[in-house]
Amino acid sequence: MVMSAVDVKRFGRTGVLMGGTSAERDVSLRSGAAVLRALTAAGVDAVGIDLQDDWAAQLRAASIDTAFIALHGTLGEDGCVQGLLEIMGIPYTGSRVMASALCMNKRLCKQVLDQAGLTTPVEIRIAEGGPERYPVFIKPVAEGSSIGLHYVESVEAWQQLDLDADMQWIAEMPVKGVEIAVSVLAGEALMPVEVAPKSGVYDYTSKYTAGATAYFCPARLPAETLRYCMEQAEKAVAAAGCSGAPRVDMIVGSGGEAAILEINTIPGMTETSLLPKAAAAAGIDFQQLCLRILATAGLDYGQEGKR
């Protein structure tokens, strides 16, 4: 779908929100810069906004009509900036406040998915002396991009960890299988992308270092398994109330069963990111992808904002 000049103009002045103050600031700046280039090339009146100190003041000064959120992590992906934009009457891309907050909290999202009949990894209780069993994956309850992800095989390894005491942590039983990511664009799942990190663990370094991970789209799975995973991703997104272009990460076992790891409401848009790879496999180039995401701004927002 290529939008006409009239379609593009209806967005008005579009602010690409990037940067922020989370641990994922650098990735967000890369995502935002790529989106800004694409929207500008498509004829959108777009401006990049690196949110740092007084976000409300920066948004007012930019005088935008629509917001394309390319923020990752705390404050940008957890419902905070979404709430601010709603107060200011600015339609925005991505999931709304409640869905954003839910998916940013891995434990709460896990509970919602479990109640919806979807499979997630088994959570292991963290006692005073560490997890009740090993090996486990340890990760922050509310961070993205695999920030703080640790694979812990023993008590000794646990004791060597220097975990931030101010953060909440969750431990999960490892799931063996093929790791895939299924992006859901405007409610429809794209072809799953298989990720095969050379290190064996798809952590922050594997995600954002060129050449550190091999990608396959479609994933190297039977056709019926691919369809099943796409259906599971659509169900997960619906259960969490997500909108825009969320990405569902999962691991597919040898029997074809899929365990959902998490839902990322604002996937990366960098050169190594998975959503653009899935879109390209569907014949949607990066510019078209950005326009399609932008077109979702305000669709379930309840108002037309300042447009």
- Catalytic machinery residues: 24, 145, 273
DSSP for 137-163, written as a single string: EEEETT--TTTT-EEE-SHHHHHH---
Task: State phi, psi for 127 to the nearest 5 degrees.
Answer: -85, -175
Helix (H) or strand (E) holding 250: strand 247-252
The answer to whether the annotation marks 249 as part of a ligand binding site is yes
**In this structure, how many other beta carbons lie within 10 angstroms of the beta carbon of residue 159?**
10
Residue 166 CA, distance from chain mean position = 23
End-to-end CA distance of the chain: 23
Task: Show contacts of 155-159: CB within 8 Å, 24+ apart.
Answer: 155/129, 155/130, 158/130, 158/131, 158/134, 159/130
Give the DSSP per-residue string, 159-214: HH----TTS-EEEE----SEEEEEEEETTEEPPPEEEEETTSS--HHHHHSTTSEE
Q: Which residue has the tokens 């064996």?
A: 200
- Residues annotated within a binding site for Mg(2+): 249, 262, 264
